[in-house]
Amino acid sequence: MQTILVTGGMGFIGSNFIRYILNLNHDFKVVNLDKLTYAGNPENLKDIEQIYPERYNFYKADINDFETVDKIINKEKIEFIINFAAESHVDRSIDNPNVVVQTNVIGTQTLLNAVRKNKIKKYIQISTDEVYGSLSLDDPPFEENNRLKPNSPYSASKASGDLLVRAYFKTFQLPVNITRCSNNYGPYQFPEKLIPLMLNNALQDKELPVYGQGINVRDWIYVTDHCSAILKVLIEGREGEIYNIGADCEYSNINLIKKLLKIINKPESLISFVKDRPGHDLRYAINYNKIRKELHWKPEVNFREGLKLTVQWYLDNKNWLNNIITKEYLTFYEKQYLNR
Ligand code: NAD
Ligand code: TYD
């Protein structure tokens, strides 16, 4: 049995990854370390805790707390670390960059110090294509050797985390990989992000706040495809390498929202064009030839199928959604909405 420390495992992608790997491969044990911020939700893994009591363990802790991280690594005999823990929302990073830098930069460095002190076989930094900045509509997609030109406090903090991972590889020869994935969608995504926010609003016949003209383009990937790519990198990734992850699926926000409305049979009149996000990146698009050729990975879920699966999951899990729509959520949402 090999033990992986997953940080940020109560969030959207981390919880999907834990579910994915425990169901798939019985040789792995997962230790989940999560601070349970507003985005960390123990409900995401309630069933997993019961199905795999021997292969799953949870600690409520902060990645900034070196002593606790170090203790858990030793107690649990951790061999691999995958860092999903982050403040992950661009709008929140604009509202308050401080906590974003604390977790995404200093938290990453704290984990790297723990990797350095202990015998860890592989550390993976879960990063994002947003570190490359923004593309024009006719630029070629991002490649791993593009310059980093982040534009939001969120993407700048993720780029800083990546640079620290690189520096610890070059200076201390730590066994690391960085993955940079495009926009994820699927079950358990917090309804502050585009797809679940629009879905949640539309189901309640509330306005859909589209920033600017809705012409911004994002490149979408179903979350389990991201998970399978991370597992590939964990097992086969060459030390020190960066791997882009994507699924050739670019949509403008407005076209995506129209597609979503069609699936749930709601009118386009719900769409409301609101003030644009400051520094709003026009387009992300990812070239993932490297992971395709080197590690023989490819995405499996097409957008039509993935969007239907996602909608069905939210329809089947209305309680999950209702439990999240708390005072904190509504306060932030209303503040955002009133400012636009
Ligand atoms: P999320 O916001 O849903 O989850 C983040 C998790 O990290 C939460 O459970 C939270 O409690 C935890 N966390 C936050 N600060 C912490 C701290 N200091 N110590 C311990 N735990 C802490 O985010 P997500 O969408 O699942 O994203 C996971 C990772 O993937 C992030 O690093 C993000 O940058 C990256 N990423 C996300 C996307 C996307 O589309 N969502 C795309 C590419 C990369
Ligand atoms: P988001 O899900 O926040 O992801 P990111 O900004 O990290 O790509 O937003 C995706 C796109 O949707 C982005 O162009 C901003 C836009 N958007 C809206 O138009 N309205 C909204 O309410 C939200 C949350 C996002």
**pLDDT single digits (tens) 167-203:** 999 999 999 999 999 999 999 999 999 999 999 999 9
Which CATH number fits the domain that encloses residue 66? 3.40.50.720
> CB-based burial of residue 305 (10 Å sphere; 0-12 exposed, 13-18 middle, 19+ buried)?
exposed
Cα 57 to middle of ligand 2, angstroms: 33
> Does some domain include residue 108?
yes
Structure tokens at 218: 């994002």
Looking at residue 176, its pLDDT comes to 98
Q: Supply the DSSP symbol for 121.
A: S
Ligand located closest to 108 CA: 1
Residue with CA at minimum distance from ligand 2 atom 22: 209
Looking at residue 337, its pLDDT comes to 77
The per-residue pLDDT of the chain, averaged, comes to 97
> CB-based burial of residue 113 (10 Å sphere; 0-12 exposed, 13-18 middle, 19+ buried)?
middle
**Can you tell me which residue has the tokens 């189901």?**
203
Looking at residue 332, its pLDDT comes to 86
Domain that holds residue 238: 2-186+222-248+280-300
N- to C-terminal Cα distance for the chain? Answer: 51
| Domain total of the chain | 1
> Does some domain include residue 253?
no
Does the C-beta of 197 come closer than 6 Å to ligand 2?
yes
**pLDDT single digits (tens) 14-69:** 999 999 999 998 899 999 999 999 999 999 999 999 999 999 999 999 999 999 99
Under the banding of pLDDT at 50, 70 and 90, the label for residue 339 is: confident
CA 295, 296, 299, 300 dihedral sign is negative
Index of the ligand 2 atom closest to the CA of residue 281: 14
For residues 238 and 214, what is the distance between their CA atoms, to the nearest angstrom?
A: 39
Residue with CA at minimum distance from ligand 2 atom 4: 193
Looking at residue 331, its pLDDT comes to 86
Taking alpha carbons only, the member of 33, 181, 39 closest to residue 110 is 33
Cα 110 to middle of ligand 2, angstroms: 30
> Does some domain include residue 240?
yes
For residues 221 and 269, what is the distance between their CA atoms, to the nearest angstrom?
A: 27
Does the C-beta of 36 come closer than 6 Å to ligand 1?
yes
**pLDDT single digits (tens) 134-146:** 999 999 999 999 9
Residue with CA at minimum distance from ligand 2 atom 10: 194
Looking at residue 340, its pLDDT comes to 78
Is 296's pLDDT higher than 90?
Answer: yes
Query: In the sheet that 183-185 helps form, which strands lie side by side, from edge to edge?
Result: 183-185, 217-222, 250-252
> CB-based burial of residue 308 (10 Å sphere; 0-12 exposed, 13-18 middle, 19+ buried)?
exposed
For residues 292 and 129, what is the distance between their CA atoms, to the nearest angstrom?
A: 16
> Does some domain include residue 331?
no
Looking at residue 326, its pLDDT comes to 83
Please give the share of the chain, as a percent, with pLDDT higher than 90.
94
**pLDDT single digits (tens) 311-330:** 999 999 999 999 998 878 88
Q: Would you say 6 and 78 are in contact if contact means Cβ atoms under 8 Å apart?
A: no
For residues 209 and 25, what is the distance between their CA atoms, to the nearest angstrom?
A: 41
CA 28, 31, 37, 38 dihedral sign is positive
Residue with CA at minimum distance from ligand 2 atom 11: 194
Please give the model's pTM, rounded to 2 decimal places: 0.98
Is 257's pLDDT higher than 80?
Answer: yes
Does the C-beta of 73 come closer than 6 Å to ligand 2?
no
Index of the ligand 1 atom closest to the CA of residue 129: 43
Index of the ligand 2 atom closest to the CA of residue 211: 19
Is 133's pLDDT higher than 80?
Answer: yes
Active-site residues, by number, are 129-130, 154
> Does some domain include residue 234?
yes
> Does some domain include residue 289?
yes
